[in-house]
Amino acid sequence: MKRTGGFAWLSVFLPAYNDAPSLPVLLARTFATLAAHVVDYEVIVVNDGSGDDTAAVLEGLRGLYGHRLKVVTHPQNRGYGGALRSGFAAASKEFVFYTDGDGQYDVGELPRLLELVGPETGLVNGYKLERHDPAHRIWIGKAYNFCARLLFRIRIRDIDCDYRLIRRALLERIHLTSTSGTICVELVRKLEMTGCGVVEIGVHHYARLYGKSQFFRVRSLATTLHELVRLWVEVVILRRTAY
């Protein structure tokens, strides 16, 4: 079995909310990539209270992939932050990689991230080479990314790119509290505050084939704004990474 750059232990997790149509292809691609490049791995899907057939699809896929596939189920939707926190808590390997269950990123590009890991590397963060979303989402995303980087003093170029490889020991040193999409700001800022080595790499982003984003809802936007204010006080004013 090929080992990319001596890479051996990896947890991959996918937060999923109403992603039943995309999961079979995404998981097939994930397992094929891991089998070719990683010695010891696990795949975790966090079903965040989906209202579609996600649970049934995952049950069928567990029969296909056996113990390599773990499913964490939230009876009720906890938000994107809640899904990521459950995924990180369930991961058991030395490194953790996550990307979204909607299939907008190609897991086949993961070996490129693995090759960048060095002794001091704590985070390998993707950035979108080109974003394939509706125009309004692209513009709002650019504004959000600019403001978040400025307000939170974050160095990486693309906070909103959910394609990340993280050393698990660092996740154990920080405490994440966000329940919404602001967890990406919180995660990256707190990881940077540990002083770990950070590497960035361009990755491809694809148009969503199924469903729609949950971010652009009034309730979600209100929660995001409230959590951003709370988070800014916590990590910029008080400079907390854990408590």
Determine how many CB atoms are found less than 10 A away from the CB of residue 130.
9
Indicate whether 66 belongs to any domain. Answer: yes
The domain of 14 spans 4-237
pLDDT given at position 236 = 86
Burial 19-56, CB ≥16 within 10 A → b, else e: bbbbbeebbeebbebbeebbeebbbbbbbbbbeeebbe
Cα separation values, 145 from 142, 149, 161, 179, 186, Å: 5, 6, 10, 18, 13
Please state the domain count of the chain.
1
CATH number of the domain within which 45 lies: 3.90.550.10
Indicate whether 226 belongs to any domain. Answer: yes
Indicate whether 242 belongs to any domain. Answer: no
Indicate whether 156 belongs to any domain. Answer: yes
Indicate whether 128 belongs to any domain. Answer: yes
pLDDT given at position 235 = 87
pLDDT given at position 2 = 40
The count of C-alpha atoms lying within 13 angstroms of the C-alpha of 37, restricted to the half-sphere facing its C-beta, is 20
Who has greater pLDDT, 176 or 239?
176
Note the pLDDT tens digit of each residue in 153-197. Answer: 999 999 999 999 999 999 999 999 999 899 999 999 999 999 999
Q: pLDDT band for position 1 (50/70/90)?
A: very low
Q: Is the pLDDT of residue 213 over 60?
A: no
Indicate whether 63 belongs to any domain. Answer: yes
Percent of the chain surpassing pLDDT 90: 73
Indicate whether 243 belongs to any domain. Answer: no
Indicate whether 12 belongs to any domain. Answer: yes
Can you tell me the mean pLDDT for 120-147? 89
Note the pLDDT tens digit of each residue in 2-34. Answer: 444 447 899 999 999 999 999 999 999 999 999
